[in-house]
Structure 1
Amino acid sequence: MMKHFLMNLLLSFIWVALTGSLYYSNFLFGYLMGFFILWIMNRQEADRRYFNRVPKTIGFIFYFLYEMIAANVQVAYDVITPKYFFKPGIIRYPLEATTDIEINLLSTMISMTPGTLILDISEDKKSLFIHVMYLRDRDRFIQQIKKGFEHKLLEILR
């Protein structure tokens, strides 16, 4: 998988060198074109993890950006209106993530969205304690995190 990524980066840099314009958009175009070329060349190969993870990673980035913008709008609306809609609460979130990197990335993603903050991780690393600014339904919040952030992140990492 690492060789595919490095080859894709090399193809991107070759594209930038051939076109002579060092812009992010040109590099991104070269990366996508290199990804497509590598995908065509390696269709019969058994190890296809790279070609499955790149689209999932891009989808996760867009999902995270959408969630972060939606949380920012919710917090900003609550700040500028005279009435407060806060319903703070602390919940215990059961984890499916098992390794330290999975738990760390998940807790970082949750904390980066406004309105949520990771308070602690249990000693056995089986649950997170999350402070939520707008906790209307505990079970619904847990399902949103489980089907959203955790599921998408574990698809990329495993």
Structure 2
Amino acid sequence: MIKYFLMNLLLSAIWVALTGSMYYTNFLFGFMLGFFVLWIMNRNELDQRYFYRVPKIISFIFYFLYQVIKANIQVAFDVVTPKYFFKPGIVRYPLNASTDFEINLLSTMLSLTPGTLIIDISDDKKTIYIHVMYLTDPETFVRQTKTGLERRLLAILR
């Protein structure tokens, strides 16, 4: 998988050198073009993980940016208005993530979104305790996080 990523970066750099314009949009276009060329060349290979993970990673980045922007707007609106809309609470979140790396990455992503903070991880690594600033329903929060952030993150890592 690393081999395909490095070849994709090389093809993107070659594209930038051939076109002569060093802009990030041109580099991204070269990366997409290189991804397509590699995909066409390796359709019959057994190891296709790279070609499935790159679209998932891009989708995850856009989903996470959307969640961060939405949470920032919610917190900023609450700070600017004279009335407070937050309803803080602590949620017991059961984990689907099993390895230390998956748990660490999930907890970091949850802590990066404004309004959530990881309080503790249980000793058996099956539960995370999360402080949520805008908690209307704990079950809804757990369901949305499981079907959104955790599912997408585990699809990339596994």
Bin the TM-score by the shorter chain.
over 0.9
SS in 2 for 1:103: helix
**Deviation (angstroms), 1:67:** 0.6
The 5 Å alignment of 1:37-76 reads 37-76=37-76
**Deviation (angstroms), 1:16:** 1.3
d(CA) in 2 for partners of 1:77 and 1:9? 41
CA offset digits 1:30-53 (Å, max 9, x no partner): 100000000111111111110000
Structure 1 stretches of 4+ moved >2 Å: none
Q: Please, what TM-score do these two structures have when normalized by structure 2?
A: 0.97
CA offset digits 1:123-154 (Å, max 9, x no partner): 11111110000111000000011000100000
The 5 Å alignment of 1:127-146 reads 127-146=127-146
State the identity %: 72
Letter of the structure 2 residue corresponding to residue 116 of structure 1:
T
Q: What's the counterpart of residue 8 of structure 2? A: 8
d(CA) in 1 for partners of 2:124 and 2:54? 32
d(CA) in 1 for partners of 2:25 and 2:107? 31
Alignment of 1:101 onto 2:105: no
SS in 2 for 1:59: helix
- Structure 1 gaps, min length 5: none
**Deviation (angstroms), 1:100:** 1.1
Letter of the structure 2 residue corresponding to residue 156 of structure 1:
I
CA offset digits 1:103-124 (Å, max 9, x no partner): 1111111111110011111111
Alignment of 1:123 onto 2:123: yes
- Structure 2 gaps, min length 5: none
Letter of the structure 2 residue corresponding to residue 57 of structure 1:
I
**Deviation (angstroms), 1:80:** 1.1
**Deviation (angstroms), 1:81:** 1.1
**Deviation (angstroms), 1:59:** 0.4
Letter of the structure 2 residue corresponding to residue 28 of structure 1:
L
Letter of the structure 1 residue corresponding to residue 142 of structure 2:
I
Q: Please, what TM-score do these two structures have when normalized by structure 1?
A: 0.97
Q: What's the counterpart of residue 25 of structure 2? A: 25
d(CA) in 2 for partners of 1:104 and 1:62? 20
